[in-house]
Structure 1
Amino acid sequence: MDTEAQHTERDPSSDTDSSGTEEGSRSARVSGDSGRAPEDSARGSDDSARGSEETERTPSWRRTALVGGACVVFLLLLSHFVIQPFLIPSGSMEPTLRVGDRILVNKLAYRFGSEPARGDVVVFDGTGSFVREQPRGNPVTGLLHDGAAALGLAEPDETDFVKRVVGVGGDRVVCCDKDGRLTVNGVPVQERYVMLGDRPSSVPFDIVVPQDRLWVMGDHRSQSSDSRDHLGNPGGGMVPVDKVVGRADWIAWPFGRWSTVPGTDAFDAVPAPPAGGHGAGAHG
């Protein structure tokens, strides 16, 4: 009985001890688990943050690309139909336009019934008048160049020129009179825009401009290849009006040169050509 009693007395204590041990182990496990939970939680939060960041980054790049593409398309359309930047590659229009100037060409200037006037500075396609049509090279390279030129980032095509209109359809343009001046319809023209030290022309000429054509010259006469240099070519150096790209209205770059392209009153006194045309003696 004593033994039984001892066993009986010992059993509760054993149970208590084992219960305590189990509870302690359970507590240890629980506390161990709870100790690891913040790390796992933090790791999960970081993964979630990275995932959401990557998710946000992808649409952001797409949006940037779409906006950039839309801007380029808009600028190309604007350049094609309204205003085109044009890089000046030579000194043929000095002092009015300098090498490296970027001008803005107004393509709407002659779209609604208006036509180029004497004194206007125009950009035109010289194919068939100043240059013969040449076969295109690599179409991809040509497309990239045309796109860059349309944005004013590259030199224009070799067929594009910028000159000043000196004679319009029906005008008789002569150089030079006894005082060395160019005359239009018999009236001497004071060309103050011509490069200082240059003569109006070192090449004598007497031409009548056909209807729908233009006689054009550079302001830096000694450095300009213009209508005078193509007198013997088909068309006699005259530029068809429908080949005019637009009127050079603004100098946009460099920033210090920002201004409108200066106008001129040199032709204000020139009368309209006679209705019956000019008499014999003129050639074109």
Structure 2
Amino acid sequence: MTYEDRDLTTAETDGGSRSSVSRRPSRGRAALPVWQETLLLLAGALVLAIVIKALFVQAFYIPSESMEPGLVKNDRILVEKPSYWFGGTPARGDVVVFKDPGGWLGPEDVSQASNPVTQLLTKVGLYPSGGHLVKRVIGVPGDVVECCDKQGRLLVNGKAVDESAYARPGGNGCDPGTAGVCYGPMPGVKHWKTPPVPRGMLFVMGDNRAHSADSSYHLCTAAETDCSDSPWVASDLVVGKVMAVVWPASKFRIEHAPDSFDEVPSR
């Protein structure tokens, strides 16, 4: 056995000073104080939250009863953004969150939280934000939307759409002789029809058809001679598609687009 072998054996088996020296802490960089590590972790979490909000998922709350019965006022929802990446656009039936096209929101809808902590959490996506609208896409570019057939159903490109699974109809507003419900009520108007939806635009409606200031509400009718409203929502104002209801916990569910529009022909 060489000198080096004897020395190694002694260091591995001897519980004395040699073994203690072998376990001496390295002379590398000293550990950060706990408070500094905590600040770094918080900063990293904030950066991650901002990235997630900007690119992937954002939390919102429902501001009104316009999307009942499915989405109730003050429900918390998650909106996903990747579906509309790389040229993807909203499809008929999608429930989308979008920025105000101009004058659609009232003062109470654009008010911001006064609590500084809540404001910060909202900005980084950790608290549901307001100031946006939530509606269902009814018409995409080229579509013509019309109210209504004899059963009170909307027509999209001449095809009646059965929305009874998710929409709440109004009790009037359709042509005389309908079944007593109307999925496109407009005060004082029995029948309405849109021009083709322009390129880059959408025609949207709330599911609570008698209580939603949506595209049909802002539609200029043939009887109006001085009308500057626009019923369209630009696709680039869309933040994303509703993917889930997360609060109240008893209502948690994943949202899926209905098949109501599957047979609507393109124009």
TM-score by length of 1: 0.66
1:219 aligns with 2:193: no
Deviation at 1:169, TM superposition (A): 0.5
- The answer to whether the 8 Å contact 1:86/1:152 transfers is no
Letter in 1 for 2:46: V
Aligned to 1:95: 69
Letter in 1 for 2:52: L
Letter in 2 for 1:247: K
Deviation at 1:230, TM superposition (A): 1.5
Deviation at 1:260, TM superposition (A): 0.9
Q: Which structure shows the higher helix fraction?
A: 1
Letter in 2 for 1:178: K
Output the aligned Cα RMSD: 3.0
Structure 1: gaps (5+ residues) = 1-55, 274-284
Aligned to 1:161: 133
Structure 2: gaps (5+ residues) = 1-30, 172-181, 221-226
Aligned to 2:230: 236
- The count of corresponding residues between Structure 1 and Structure 2 is 212
Deviation at 1:142, TM superposition (A): 9.8
Q: Counterparts of 1:26-65 in structure 2 under 5 Å?
A: 59-65=33-39
Deviation at 1:205, TM superposition (A): 2.0
- The answer to whether the 8 Å contact 2:69/2:168 transfers is yes
Do the aligned partners of residues 181 and 127 (structure 1) sit closer, same or farther apart at CA in structure 2, a change above 3 Å counting? closer
Do the aligned partners of residues 264 and 206 (structure 1) sit closer, same or farther apart at CA in structure 2, a change above 3 Å counting? same
CA distance in 2: counterparts of 1:231 and 1:152, whole angstroms: 36
CA distance in 1: counterparts of 2:228 and 2:37, whole angstroms: 53
- The answer to whether the 8 Å contact 2:80/2:241 transfers is yes
CA distance in 2: counterparts of 1:155 and 1:130, whole angstroms: 17
CA distance in 2: counterparts of 1:163 and 1:213, whole angstroms: 14
The C-alpha deviation readout for 1:84-137, integer Å capped at 9, x for no partner, is 1111122211122122222111111111222111000011112337359xxx99
Do the aligned partners of residues 143 and 207 (structure 1) sit closer, same or farther apart at CA in structure 2, a change above 3 Å counting? farther
Is the radius of gyration larger for structure 1 or structure 2?
Answer: 1
Q: Which moved more, 1:196-205 or 1:75-84?
A: 196-205
The C-alpha deviation readout for 1:33-75, integer Å capped at 9, x for no partner, is xxxxxxxxxxxxxxxxxxxxxxx9x921222222122212211
Q: Counterparts of 1:74-113 in structure 2 under 5 Å?
A: 74-113=48-87
1:73 aligns with 2:60: no
Do the aligned partners of residues 229 and 250 (structure 1) sit closer, same or farther apart at CA in structure 2, a change above 3 Å counting? same
- The answer to whether the 8 Å contact 1:102/1:152 transfers is no
Do the aligned partners of residues 79 and 230 (structure 1) sit closer, same or farther apart at CA in structure 2, a change above 3 Å counting? same
Do the aligned partners of residues 154 and 120 (structure 1) sit closer, same or farther apart at CA in structure 2, a change above 3 Å counting? closer
The C-alpha deviation readout for 1:246-274, integer Å capped at 9, x for no partner, is 1111222222222211321111111001x
1:200 aligns with 2:183: yes
Do the aligned partners of residues 141 and 100 (structure 1) sit closer, same or farther apart at CA in structure 2, a change above 3 Å counting? closer
The C-alpha deviation readout for 1:158-205, integer Å capped at 9, x for no partner, is xx1110000001101001123221100001110121126663122142
